[in-house]
């Protein structure tokens, strides 16, 4: 069995787009992506169709993949329409061709032993956590999930999480479902209770920072997936950089799309994300 690695560039086809609360659940036929997918990797889509003169692609995290099916390999993604590009995507009729590159980036690192893991995510950033939970369970890792959002409509996968994990904690900012709190607030107690050794997290920068801090306090490893900004997704444009400390102790501006999107939480200089620290060096 040959292991297929690296991204493919293919013309995909929209199989369906369904509403999922505040989000859109896209299913694409995209040959070759599923075989190469590992949880945490993402795809980059061209926007606007064949006549488009848009230069920038949109990166989408991958919810799940199916290598074979009635239509060939498919991938699914859950995203929010936040700008004209993602709104265009959300309005695509079934059968529309879409240019796909992927899977891209570095996946979540999996523990070698069957240790307890906590998966934390905010909003639709939870989507990639389900494929991760499956991989972890295959390795015998007990999995707990902590999902949060501002409102119930902005939660994604709370029901699926109950099926997929040993325990689920849900928070909403407005208390419409679950605990009325920030998603990270219950994390310290959860880490104490479960003796988790690894925390996986996906969501906005401030949330990832809080997760990395809580993990460090509890002596757990953290694997944080940053949001890749619009650009190329393929490591070319150097627009999605953030300051990350290397093994040599040197801070470098590295690409969220190529060196990430998953980083060790204790390596990212969270307070400096969005800036270029004085001591940062060039990379790539």
Partner 1 sequence: VTTAPRTPPGPDLRTDVAGLRLPNPVMTAAGCGGPELAAYSDLAALGAVVTRTVTLDPRAGAPAPRLAETASGVLGAVGRQNPGLQGFLATELPWYVQRQVRTVVSIGAGSLGEYAELARRVGTAPGVTAVEVQLTATDAYQTGKVLHVVRRDLPHDIPVLAKLGATGGDVVDLASAAAQNGADAVVVSQGFPGLVMDPRTLRPALGAGAGWLSGPAIHPLALRQVWDIHAALPDVPVIGVGGIRTGLDALGMLLAGACAVQVGSALFQDPSSATRVLDELAGELAERDIDRVSDVIGLAHDLERSRR
Binding site for partner 1 (CB under 8 A): 6-7, 9, 46, 53-57, 85, 99, 101, 229-232, 234-239, 241-242, 252-253, 258, 274-277, 280-284
In angstroms, give the least distance from the CB of 128 to partner 1: 22
At 127 the three-state DSSP class reads helix
Distance separating alpha carbons of residues 194 and 217, to the nearest angstrom: 15
Q: Which is nearer to partner 1, 79 or 156 (CB)?
A: 79
Distance separating alpha carbons of residues 231 and 238, to the nearest angstrom: 8
Kindly report the number of other CB atoms within 10 A of residue 142's CB atom. 17
E strand segments, 129-211: 143-149, 167-172, 179-180, 198-202
In angstroms, give the least distance from the CB of 43 to partner 1: 13
Q: Which is nearer to partner 1, 68 or 284 (CB)?
A: 284
Q: Which is nearer to partner 1, 94 or 276 (CB)?
A: 276
In angstroms, give the least distance from the CB of 53 to partner 1: 4
Q: Which is nearer to partner 1, 120 or 253 (CB)?
A: 253
What DSSP assignment string belongs to 35-71? HH--TT-EEEE--S-TT-----BEEEE--EEESSSTT
Within the chain, what is the greatest distance between any pair of CA atoms?
55
Q: Which is nearer to partner 1, 17 or 253 (CB)?
A: 253
In angstroms, give the least distance from the CB of 183 to partner 1: 23
């Amino acid at each position: 069995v040959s292991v297929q690695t690296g991204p493919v560039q293919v013309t995909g086809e929209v199989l369906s787009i369904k509403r999922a609360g505040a989000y859109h659940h896209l299913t694409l036929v995209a040959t070759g992506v599923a075989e190469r997918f590992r949880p945490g990797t993402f795809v980059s889509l061209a926007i606007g169709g064949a006549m488009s003169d848009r230069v920038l692609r949109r990166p989408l995290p991958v919810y799940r993949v199916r290598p074979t099916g009635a239509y060939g390999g498919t991938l699914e993604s859950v995203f929010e329409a936040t700008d004209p590009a993602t709104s265009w995507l959300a309005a695509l009729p079934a059968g529309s061709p879409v240019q796909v590159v992927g899977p891209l980036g570095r996946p979540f690192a999996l523990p070698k032993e069957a240790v307890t893991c906590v998966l934390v995510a905010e909003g639709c950033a939870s989507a990639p956590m389900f494929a991760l939970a499956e991989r972890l369970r295959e390795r015998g890792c007990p999995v707990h999930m902590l999902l949060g959002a501002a409102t119930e409509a902005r939660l994604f996968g709370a029901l699926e999480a109950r099926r997929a994990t040993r325990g689920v904690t849900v928070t909403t900012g407005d208390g419409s479902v679950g605990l009325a709190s920030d998603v990270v607030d219950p994390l310290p107690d959860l880490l104490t209770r479960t003796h988790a050794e690894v925390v996986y997290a996906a969501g906005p920068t401030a949330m990832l920072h809080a997760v990395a801090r809580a993990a460090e306090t509890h002596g757990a490893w953290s694997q944080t997936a940053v949001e890749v900004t619009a650009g190329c997704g393929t490591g070319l444009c150097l627009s999605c950089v953030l300051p990350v400390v290397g093994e040599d102790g040197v801070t470098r501006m590295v690409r969220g799309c190529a060196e990430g999107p998953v980083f060790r939480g204790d390596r990212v200089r969270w307070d400096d994300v969005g800036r270029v620290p004085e001591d940062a060096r060039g990379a790539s």
